[in-house]
Amino acid sequence: MKPGETTVNITNEQDQHSLNPDGLREVAVLVSTDVFPAGRRVQIDLVFVDDQSMAALNETHLGHDGPTDIITFDYSTSTLLHGELVICPQVAAIHARKFDNSLGEELARYVIHGVLHLLGHDDHDPDDQSKMKAEEDRLLDRLRRQLDFNGLTHE
């Protein structure tokens, strides 16, 4: 991997929703290019899991019951920004219906959310949540001009 290069690996361990890996990869690359310092090597691993797997990860790593939308694992070093974004499309579909979004838009939001965590954003208190949501919305608006979110899934 060369300096300034962004690598995105995708693993799909669920079969409830048909995803477009190339489109989701493009979301991660565009967001990373926007927010990370120029010249920094970036590796993002997008892992899509079912609700049972997500519930197990949520219990093990965060001590919470049930599935969640996304969990971000930061493996960055001094020379590489590296994160694993574990995303549950089943939870995304529920939230998409609730907020009247497409599944693709909801998944794009989760990729943005995970990348922002890698950048150091936090969402543990209401003030931090508000700031992070505002940045998510800003980046989502930029992506909306570049991508068709409906193309991120095959549904």
Looking at residue 153, its pLDDT comes to 97
Looking at residue 43, its pLDDT comes to 97
What are the helix (H) ranges across 11-119? 21-35, 51-57, 89-98, 103-119
Looking at residue 36, its pLDDT comes to 86
| Stretches in the chain below the pLDDT threshold 50 | none
DSSP per residue, 118-138: HHT---SSHHHHHHHHHHHHH
Q: Which residue has the tokens 């599935």?
A: 67
Looking at residue 56, its pLDDT comes to 98
Looking at residue 5, its pLDDT comes to 87
Q: Give the architecture (CATH level 2) of 6-152.
A: 3-Layer(aba) Sandwich (3.40)
Output the pTM of the full model.
Answer: 0.95
Pairing state between β 81-87 and 70-74: antiparallel
Looking at residue 3, its pLDDT comes to 67
Looking at residue 127, its pLDDT comes to 94
Q: Which residue has the tokens 């001094």?
A: 78
Query: What's the rounded Cα separation, in Å, for the pair 83 and 134?
Result: 22
Which residue ranges make up each domain of the chain? 6-152
DSSP code, position 14: -
Burial of 102 (0-12, 13-18, 19+ CB in 10 A): middle
